[in-house]
A = this chain, B = another copy of it.
């Protein structure tokens, strides 16, 4: 083999074959163990279900992982390996929770009516409520002639319609709910819908914003923002119910929530939109971009591309919903233009000065993010198959 080319003589082939058979055997055992573990965790789920305990128990999870990491270390296994494998297994177990259903916190509620129940998020909540034993009715745009009958005896009316029509719908159509019925919404802005609900309905009111898309398989570890409206004790069961599904509740004032969302949603969605538009206008050669792309850039392209696989109306609504978003978007443009002048003047030192200013502002978060993103990038690289 003088030139170092790959060769595969018979001995090498036989050795590799033998080792691969042994690995096959290990993997069989691995599959059996995974099956066994999923079954045991399902039994834990069933016990929790009958006791009405939440499926996600952060402290228990952290304690278990710490123990496993220590055990791994004594065996010369990287602690992060067992942690990653177990986290993946836990995800699978959370997904399977749906098979046993969930504890019903409020048994004498009466009906739940989901307005906009045929949308994706409405369907997800309908499914979760049904799995928890509630009687769920869906009300969609064509069902308004049956609305009065549906609302009769309802214990919860949950609004999840496009953001552009939410307030109008609440004011026009939800004036005749039973006084003790809870009125709640899932809109991604909160100030205006909360005001509309409090004005229209005299009973309990609560605003919710699930910080995840309808394509999550499980509520476990997902965040739901809660804005309190009126008569909190009346909807306390609803918050407990969402916790049992595995979500983490974050309480917030509507105004503070909306301000954060301008930066999170409107500005970021808009930049991503322009990034896609820019690639399109430049007639970027996507195939060669992808061919060259490092994990980090593949991840970024994927985050841009995913936007355009979704409904333009949804994004238009989010971006057009808040007047203040326009300010956040313009501010970004102004900062971009100003930073570009630094570039155009060739002032490298000034660029570095600003960079340092931002680094300082991020403080400890910058290295923390670097650490976090490294784990993400490794996992993106794992997914590569060619």
A1 CA / B50 CA spacing, docked (Å):
11
What is the size, in residues, of chain A's interface with B at 8 Å between Cβ atoms?
180
**Residues from chain B with Cβ under 8 Å of A328 in the complex:** 282
A175 close to chain B: CB less than 8 A? no
A140 close to chain B: CB less than 8 A? no
**Residues from chain B with Cβ under 8 Å of A372 in the complex:** 298, 302, 306, 383
CB-based contact B273/A240 at 8 Å:
no
Contact of A276 among B54, B248, B333, B362 (CB under 8 A): B362
A379 CA / B355 CA spacing, docked (Å):
30
CB-based contact A373/B40 at 8 Å:
no
CB-based contact A366/B105 at 8 Å:
no
Q: Which 5 A-B pairs have the closest CB atoms?
A: A305-B369, A4-B105, A312-B355, A309-B370, A211-B294
A100 close to chain B: CB less than 8 A? no
**Residues from chain B with Cβ under 8 Å of A343 in the complex:** 270, 319-320, 326, 329
Whether A40 touches B19, Cβ cut-off 8 Å, given contacts A33-B33, A222-B381, A312-B351, is yes
Contact of A274 among B19, B273, B339 (CB under 8 A): B339
Q: Which residue of B lies closest to A339 (CB)?
A: B274
Q: Which residue of B lies closest to A92 (CB)?
A: B81
**Residues from chain B with Cβ under 8 Å of A87 in the complex:** 382-383
Q: Which residue of B lies closest to A34 (CB)?
A: B77
A354 CA / B298 CA spacing, docked (Å):
23
**Residues from chain B with Cβ under 8 Å of A149 in the complex:** none
Contact of A308 among B310, B313, B331, B362 (CB under 8 A): B362
A148 close to chain B: CB less than 8 A? no
Contact mask for chain A residues 41-56; partner B; CB cutoff 8 A; 1 contact, 0 none: 1011001101111100
A179 close to chain B: CB less than 8 A? no
CB-based contact B320/A348 at 8 Å:
yes
Contact mask for chain A residues 331-349; partner B; CB cutoff 8 A; 1 contact, 0 none: 1110111011001101010
CB-based contact A289/B309 at 8 Å:
no
**Residues from chain B with Cβ under 8 Å of A52 in the complex:** 1, 4-7
**Residues from chain B with Cβ under 8 Å of A276 in the complex:** 358, 362
CB-based contact B51/A7 at 8 Å:
yes
